[in-house]
């Protein structure tokens, strides 16, 4: 599996993009900075998008992808929880703010095609084995454990607060992509609003190692621009304490699994 981190941030300014991953050029996971990161030729290769939850920093470029795909008469499958689609479709895609992407360019040949996913039920999506697992965020959210037909397994937590032990029981990743949106000085707030600080992340990773007997490589994304330096220093510290391969992700970073 080849992973490309398209967007590694939870907010946006020049040089940063909103959260989005791309696997083997064909499977996107969240769509915050999706089209902003890719040429049209690269976008044309995308077969499916998995959405973790409805927040704008994870869904925004679904609008522009759906619009662009009409250029090559494309079809992109969009997978998400029912609760996520129930927000994303009426708020972003039904024609109020842009094209009606449920019926664009026509009702018969819409570029975006929606399918609900159910937690704990593994599903074959474009040859990938995909397992959606609920995480503890402020709105219904799933992380995704994804095994590539080309080899390699990753678990993407999406936005989450503490309490990943139930997820850890169901996964066996080579790589964990997780978040640490706020620094240790804001740990109480992070937990309250469904995010992690490095200190909270360390507790989750200690539990992972206790349950699974190993610690995979960990890449931390969904960074907050104003706190990135501080979080980076704290992540480096917990990497040392856990003697693990734990580091910050960044835009356009590629990882081979
Ligand atoms: Zn987010
Ligand atoms: Zn969120």
Per-residue pLDDT of 72-103, as tens digits, reads 999 999 999 999 999 999 999 999 999 999 99
Phi-psi region of 35 (alpha: psi -120 to 50; beta: other; left: phi over 0): alpha
**Euclidean distance between CA atoms 136 and 201, whole angstroms:** 13
CA distance 234 to 50: 30
What pLDDT is recorded for position 12?
96
Residue 31 CA to ligand 2 centre (angstroms): 12
Spacing, Cα 73 to ligand 1 middle (Å): 30
Query: pLDDT digit string (tens) for 49-74?
Result: 999 999 999 999 999 999 999 999 99
In our burial notation (b when 16+ CB lie closer than 10 A, e otherwise), range 64-91 reads bbbbbbbeeebebbbbbbeebbebbbee
**pLDDT on residue 181:** 95
Q: Is the dihedral of CA 198, 203, 206, 211 positive or negative?
A: negative
Please, which residues have CB less than 5 A from ligand 2, an ion?
A: 55, 159
- Ligand approaching nearest to the C-alpha of 20: 1
């Amino acid at each position: 599996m080849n992973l490309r981190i398209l967007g590694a941030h939870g907010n946006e300014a020049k040089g940063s993009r909103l959260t989005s991953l791309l696997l083997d050029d064909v499977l996107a996971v969240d769509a915050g900075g999706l089209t902003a990161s890719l040429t049209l030729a690269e976008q044309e290769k995308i077969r499916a998008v998995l959405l973790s939850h409805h927040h704008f920093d994870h869904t925004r470029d679904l609008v522009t992808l759906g619009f662009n795909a009409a250029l090559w008469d494309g079809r992109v499958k969009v997978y998400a929880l029912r609760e996520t689609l129930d927000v994303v479709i009426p708020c972003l895609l039904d024609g109020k703010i842009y094209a009606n992407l449920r019926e664009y360019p026509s009702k018969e040949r819409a570029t975006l095609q929606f399918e609900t996913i159910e937690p704990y039920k593994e599903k074959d999506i474009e040859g990938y084995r995909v397992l959606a697992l609920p995480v503890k965020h402020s709105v219904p959210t799933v992380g995704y454990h994804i095994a590539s037909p080309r080899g390699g397994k990753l678990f993407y937590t999406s936005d989450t607060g503490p309490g990943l032990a139930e997820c850890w029981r169901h996964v066996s990743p080579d790589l964990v992509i997780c978040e640490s949106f706020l620094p240790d000085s804001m740990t109480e707030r992070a937990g309250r609003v469904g995010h992690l600080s490095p200190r909270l992340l360390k507790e989750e990773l200690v539990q992972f190692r206790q349950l699974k007997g190993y610690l995979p490589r960990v890449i931390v994304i969904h960074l907050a621009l104003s706190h990135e330096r501080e979080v980076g220093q704290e992540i480096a510290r917990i990497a040392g304490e856990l003697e693990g391969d734990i580091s910050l992700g960044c835009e356009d970073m590629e990882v081979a699994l």
